[in-house]
Amino acid sequence: MATVLVTGGTGFIGSYVAADLEDAGHDVVAFDLSTDRERLETLGVGDVEVVRGDVTDSTAVVRAVKETGATHVVHLAALLTDGARANPRAALEVNVEGTNNVFEAARTLDDQVERVAWASSAAVYAPPDEYDLPVTESDLVYPDTLYGATKEYNEHQARVYAEEYGVSHVGLRPTVAYGPYRETGGSAFLVDLIEKPALGESFAVEYGDQRIDWQYVRDIAQAFRKAAFADESALTQRVYNVAGETTTIREAAEVVQRVVPDADVTVSDEGDLPWTQDLDCTAARDDLGYVPEYDLEAGVREYVSVLREDAGLEPV
């Protein structure tokens, strides 16, 4: 058993990470600006301690790690694509300085903290036409969003903290997270593609035969647990692609219609998806033991069932 501090621990992914870690027998502390326990309680997480704090406050980060006795940190707190675009200064403070504060805490408390597992992103990659797919970790990193740029910078500072100060870290590059209780964001249409049909509403989606990776949130959670506890000797690199199932939007709509037979979903070929999503996850499988447990249909089925039960409807 270890004590794991999860920054952003009351958020969407953070709550699932907390639940996964608790299920694995670890003590979990959620460090977040929000102390709302609703997601945690909905996921059945009973013993997680919630500490209110801001990752941009270096003193608060060090204090939280030290006072909780955390031996591992899972760092998720960040402004996502839309938030970074709307407030670039805040993106710098939260995404870059906040991550620096976490690495500084690990450096300062090096006799206590054994590993930092932290969220980079597939957003560090250039647009899809720059690659022969699938994309490996050694391929071109050239983000076209501010959010992606902050994550690229964090990969650089993580390397410095490892090489210069001996901080053990593993960064993950997830794709698009989906699952119950997700916030909206730059990929909100993907949420609507599942949630609206699940509740009996029609939905029209663009992008037709363009491909995107769907990573169920429980798989992201297990990836961060494995990154936090992977044996040091097993690591051949420090940043890993992690993904789920890659399909076209049209194929995803067909999955939704299989799960919800009366779903009214219309697919068109308009628009262009901005993301590179077809990632090679061989290294994560070999080094971390990361293997997705949910294919798209299993993830959609669980997602739809939760939504329908919450709405007082029959699950699928």
Which DSSP helix (H) or strand (E) runs through 90?
helix 88-91
Q: Do domains 3-176+215-241 and 180-213+245-274+294-310 have the same CATH topology?
A: no
Interacting residues of 122 by C-beta distance below 8 A, sequence separation 6+: 173, 174, 175, 213, 241, 243, 275, 276, 277, 279
Report the pLDDT value the prediction gives residue 184, as an integer from 0 to 100: 61
Return the C-alpha torsion angle 101, 183, 255, 292, nearest 10. 20
> In 3D, which of 165, 153, 48, 53 has the Cα closest to residue 109?
165
Instruction: Identify the pLDDT of residue 183.
Output: 75
Query: Quick one: how far is CA 60 from the chain centroid?
Result: 23
- Token pair belonging to 182: 């997700």
The pLDDT value given to residue 277: 77
- Place domain 3-176+215-241 in its CATH homologous superfamily: NAD(P)-binding Rossmann-like Domain (3.40.50.720)
Question: Residue 117 is inside which H or E element, if any?
Answer: strand 115-119
Helix, strand, coil percentages for the chain (3-state, nearest 5): 45, 15, 40
User: What are the structural domain ranges in the chain?
Assistant: 3-176+215-241, 180-213+245-274+294-310
180-213+245-274+294-310 has which fold? UDP-galactose 4-epimerase; domain 1 (3.90.25)
| Cα 13 to Cα 179: distance, rounded to the nearest angstrom | 9
CA atoms of 4 and 221, how far apart (whole Å): 13
Pairing of strands 115-119, 211-216: unpaired
What is the side-by-side order of every strand in the sheet holding 3-7? 49-52, 27-32, 3-7, 72-75, 115-119, 169-173, 239-241
| Helix or strand holding residue 18 (H, E) | helix 12-23
Taking only the tens of pLDDT, the chain with its 316 residues reads 899 999 999 999 999 999 999 999 999 999 999 999 999 999 999 889 999 999 999 999 999 999 999 999 999 999 988 889 999 999 999 999 999 999 999 999 999 999 999 999 999 999 888 898 899 999 999 999 999 999 999 999 999 999 999 999 999 999 999 999 987 666 778 899 999 999 999 999 999 999 999 999 999 999 999 999 999 999 999 999 999 999 999 999 999 999 999 999 999 999 888 777 799 999 999 999 999 999 999 999 999 999 999 999 988 8
> CA torsion sign, 129 to 220 to 292 to 172?
positive
**What's the whole-model pTM score?**
0.96
